Amino acid sequence: MVDIGTRSSQGTATIEEVAAAAGVSRSTVSRVVNGSTSVSPAALEAVNRAISALNYVPNRAARSLATRQTHAIALVVPEETTRFFGDPFFAAIVSGINTRVNKSDYVLNLFIASDDPGDKTTSYLRSGSVDGAIIVSHHTSDTFIDRIAAAVPVVFGGRPVRARERDYYVDVDNVRGGQEVTEFLIGRGYRRIAMISGPLTMPAGVDRLEGFRQALDAAGLEPGPVEDGNFTADGGARAMERILEAPDRPDALFIASDLMARGALAVLNRSGIRVPDDIAIVGFDDSPVATTVSPHLTTMRQPSFTQGERMADVLLDLLADRDPPRVTMLNTELVIRDSVSTRAAGD
């Protein structure tokens, strides 16, 4: 079956670019190229028009060789190595991805790169060394991932920072998760609610903050201080110190990751501020951190292992010319533990 998306030496388009121009899926372009009759007349006309306009030339000879497929998948994590190995979120994601990949004919290659100086990673992935890629934890500044997505099928973990109609991604409903945390705190009687957010260069950071603000606005409450904790324990500690400098100390905190909550708890303990008696805390993730800190964290569980499995499933479907959903949204679940009182502080 003919289905090749690499550029020729004359710079012809990839199959992904043809699909985007035609407004159809990658597998639809593949079926047209291979002469399949299971394509609607409208799709056939759109694909042929895009092929002509973009000078797409499928390399049938190369594709007919078994060696054309590498049977390798890249997992690209645009983060510092210390963050990757220090955050339990990544362990769960990678475990889920690997569980699915191990059951396939593919192998998983891991690339950790906070940026891509000299385009080393990008050039390697665009050279035909992998058949597809999963990209997790990307930031606004990570423009190199766009060049990867133009060369091979890509599935994103979380909403892409520059989302396009043709993108495939698996995410949790971070806006709703942020709303539910905040509504829970309001329902327990808390009124001065602050937040330690993730970085606003990441969709998860933006969406959890948006849910927090929506819930407070619906309740007619003003948000307390909001500080960026960068999804790290050190960042959470520094954000907590800044919040404590505010003139009116909050009675509750929504902290957008358990790792940041661990850093914040250390600062509160040093300051003699009791949790939950003086201030309530709700985290996000339900990672192992939630039950290794004291008190155990009330937190919003996100199914990170399942998210990894689903990302792998979507990419494997793409590589097999199946049509997976472009967007897969997973639910979150509030897990109540000891870091929130049944009544607000001071009641």
Work out the number of other CB atoms within 10 angstroms of the CB of residue 172. Answer: 26
Classify residue 174 as exposed, middle or buried by CB count within 10 Å of its CB (0-12, 13-18, 19+): buried
pLDDT in tens, 296-343: 999 999 999 999 999 999 999 999 888 899 999 999 999 999 999 876
The reported pLDDT for the residue numbered 68 is: 58
Q: Determine which helix (DSSP H) or strand (DSSP E) holds 253, and give its type and residue range.
A: strand 252-255
Determine the pLDDT at residue 58: 61
- Backbone dihedral angles phi then psi of residue 306, each to the nearest 5 degrees: -65, -40
pLDDT on residue 183: 97
Q: What is the pLDDT of residue 246?
A: 87
What per-residue confidence (pLDDT) applies to 57?
A: 64
Looking at the structure, give the CATH architecture of the domain made up of residues 71-171+304-329: 3-Layer(aba) Sandwich (3.40)
Predicted TM-score (pTM) of this structure: 0.78
* For the chain, percent of residues with pLDDT exceeding 70: 89
> What's domain 15-64's superfamily in CATH?
lambda repressor-like DNA-binding domains (1.10.260.40)
Q: What is the pLDDT of residues 98-151, one digit of tens each?
A: 999 999 999 999 998 776 655 788 888 888 889 999 999 888 888 888 888 888
Rg of the Cα trace of the chain? 23
* Domain ranges, ordered by start, for the chain: 15-64, 71-171+304-329, 174-302
Identify the band that residue 82 occupies on the pLDDT scale cut at 50, 70 and 90.
confident
- The pLDDT value given to residue 13: 74
Q: What is the DSSP code string of 169-226?
A: EEEE-HHHHHHHHHHHHHHTT--SEEEEE--TTSHHHHHHHHHHHHHHHHTT-----E
Kindly indicate the confidence band of residue 15, based on its pLDDT and cuts at 50, 70 and 90: confident
User: Mean per-residue pLDDT for 40-53?
Assistant: 86
Cβ atoms of 277 and 250 within 8 Å: the answer is no
The pLDDT, as a whole number, for residue 61 is 37
Would you say residue 347 has pLDDT above 70?
Answer: no
Looking at per-residue pLDDT, the higher value among 5 and 76 belongs to: 76
Q: Which residue has the higher pLDDT, 255 or 166?
A: 255
Q: Binning pLDDT at 50, 70 and 90, where does residue 65 land?
A: very low
Same fold across 15-64 and 174-302: no
DSSP per-residue string spanning 114-147: SS-GGGHHHHHHHTTS-SEEEEES--TT-THHHH
Q: What is the pLDDT of residue 12?
A: 56
Q: Report the first-to-last Cα separation within the chain, whole angstroms.
A: 70
> Residue 267 has what pLDDT?
97
Q: How confident is the model at residue 175 (pLDDT cuts 50, 70, 90)?
A: very high
pLDDT of 200 strictly over 80: yes
Average pLDDT over the chain, rounded to an integer: 87
pLDDT of the residue at 237: 98
| pLDDT band, very low/low/confident/very high, at 285 (cuts 50, 70, 90) | very high
- Residue 176's pLDDT is what? 96
| Integer CA distances (angstroms), 233 to 87, 203, 238, 252, 261, in order | 9, 19, 9, 19, 7
DSSP 51-91: HHHHT----HHHHHSGGG---EEEEEE-S-HHHHHH-HHHH
pLDDT tops 50 at residue 1: no
pLDDT-derived band at 8 (thresholds 50, 70, 90) equals very low
CATH 1.10.10.10 given to domain 174-302 = no
Q: How confident is the model at residue 16 (pLDDT cuts 50, 70, 90)?
A: confident
In b/e form, how buried is each residue of 110-127, taking b as 16+ CB within 10 angstroms?
A: ebbbbebeeeebbebbbe
